[in-house]
Amino acid sequence: MGFDEMDVSTIWMDGEFVDWDDAQVHVLTHGLHYGSGVFEGARCYDTAEGPAIFRWEEHLDRLYQSAKPYEMEIDHTKAELTEATKELIQRQDLESCYIRPIAFYGYNSLGVSPEDCPTRTAIAVWPWGAYLGEEALEAGIEVMISSWRKHASSQIPTNAKTTGLYVNSMLAGEEARRNGYAEAIVLNKEGNVAEGPGENIFLVRDGEIHTPGLSESILDGITRDTVIEIAEDLGYTVHDNVSISRGELNTADELFFTGSAAEVTPIRKVDNVVIGDGSRGPVTEEIQQRFFEIVERETDAYDEWFEYV
């Protein structure tokens, strides 16, 4: 569904609420030419207590941390961004939505250096269902190993959620879709498993859970952290600082993606190799069900993870 088909009309931009169609920038904006922006993707869930933003504080913390390597000063406090986001959701009567805060170097000069370019900040919210499709949450998806490799942290800060870096994700994801797969898995420069284009990946073997460590050129995903905590609270052993070889994917009992957009999505095939019995595995299912119980507030647990609108 395109934005024109959605019932959204307002964006917050540089301290003001503006009409959706008026949220524009100059064509010579620095961030447009050099990818010099940082962003977040968070979800607000419909709960019995009203709309609730999941792990908003952690998303804001990462936004500001992502700006540091680029010496980008965001001209608004976290409290201002929080109030703006909540009012934006209220103004558009959204019970659940996806939230996209972004900060980027704006228009002033077009040298590679952003010196004297202002930092622009915006927030948009809109309805967005299951990222990889509702059916995928139960049936799982088919993925391929991308021919594109993930950049190393010695080249570009992999712990920053930077706009320009997502050309790597776009190339991997589009390659997968051209070849009939729902999504890709990207290897790092050493040839080990890194992550998906917009997701972290988990492997289940002999009832224990494994996920690549931060040194494997991955983004420190907030849903990744959530799932690690949920799994440990359910009694699982989680190895969250490992290297996973490409071959280990084929012999896994279960695989699943996590992400703010993807939530918890099972993987049923990798390069046409069936994973486990080719369906959502029992460990994935238990973690997924617990995840949705939490975000839909069917339990009082983890209430500190929510910002109520």
CATH of the domain at 35: 3.30.470.10
Q: Quick one: pLDDT band at residue 4, thresholds 50, 70, 90?
A: low
Burial status of residue 147 (CB atoms within 10 A of its CB: 0-12, 13-18, 19 or more): exposed
- pTM (global) more than 0.85: yes
**What's the structural domain count of the chain?**
2
Q: Could you tell me which residue, 39 or 2, shows the higher pLDDT? A: 39
Eight-state DSSP code of residue 162: B
Same structural domain for residues 156 and 201? yes
Cβ neighbours, 10 Å, residue 305: 18
**pLDDT value of position 2:** 72
User: Catalytic pick from 150, 161, 189, 269?
Assistant: 161
| Residue 53 maps to a domain | yes
Concatenate the DSSP letters of all residues of 111-135 into one string: SSS-TTPPEEEEEEEE----TT-HH
Residues 66-118: pLDDT tens digits?
999 999 999 999 999 999 999 999 999 999 999 999 999 999 999 999 999 99
Same structural domain for residues 87 and 179? no
Same structural domain for residues 144 and 290? yes
| pLDDT over 90 percentage in the chain | 93
Which of 100, 127, 154 represents a domain boundary (last residue)?
127
| Residue 88 maps to a domain | yes
| Residue 301 maps to a domain | no
Same structural domain for residues 186 and 145? yes
Quick one: average pLDDT of 117-134? 89
**pLDDT value of position 299:** 94
Cβ neighbours, 10 Å, residue 292: 14
Same structural domain for residues 66 and 170? no
Residues 282-296: pLDDT tens digits?
999 999 999 999 999
| Residue 307 maps to a domain | no
The Cα–Cα gap between 221 and 58 comes to: 10
| Residue 153 maps to a domain | yes
Q: Quick one: pLDDT band at residue 6, thresholds 50, 70, 90?
A: confident
pLDDT at residue 132 tops 80: no
| Residue 25 maps to a domain | yes
Same structural domain for residues 156 and 278? yes
Same structural domain for residues 106 and 141? no
The Cα–Cα gap between 203 and 19 comes to: 44
| Residue 305 maps to a domain | no
Residues 29-74: pLDDT tens digits?
999 999 999 999 999 999 999 999 999 999 999 999 999 999 999 9
Q: Return the SS3 of 5.
A: helix
Phi, psi of 52 (to 5 degrees): -135, 125
Which of 70, 93, 127 represents a domain boundary (last residue)?
127
Quick one: average pLDDT of 166-176? 97
Pairing of strands 141-149, 183-187: parallel
Same structural domain for residues 225 and 271? yes
Residues 220-273: pLDDT tens digits?
999 999 999 999 999 999 999 999 999 999 999 999 999 999 999 999 999 999
Concatenate the DSSP letters of all residues of 55-110 into one string: THHHHHHHHHHHHGGGT---SS-HHHHHHHHHHHHHHTT-SSEEEEEEEEE-SS--
Which of 96, 127, 158 represents a domain boundary (last residue)?
127
pLDDT at residue 163 tops 90: yes
Answer yes or no: are the C-beta atoms of 43 and 54 closer than 8 Å: yes
Same structural domain for residues 26 and 47? yes
| Residue 308 maps to a domain | no
Residues spanned by the domain of 202: 134-296
Same structural domain for residues 229 and 171? yes
Same structural domain for residues 108 and 146? no
Q: Is 150 a catalytic residue?
A: no
Same structural domain for residues 147 and 259? yes
Q: Quick one: pLDDT band at residue 1, thresholds 50, 70, 90?
A: low
The Cα–Cα gap between 129 and 223 comes to: 16
**pLDDT value of position 131:** 73
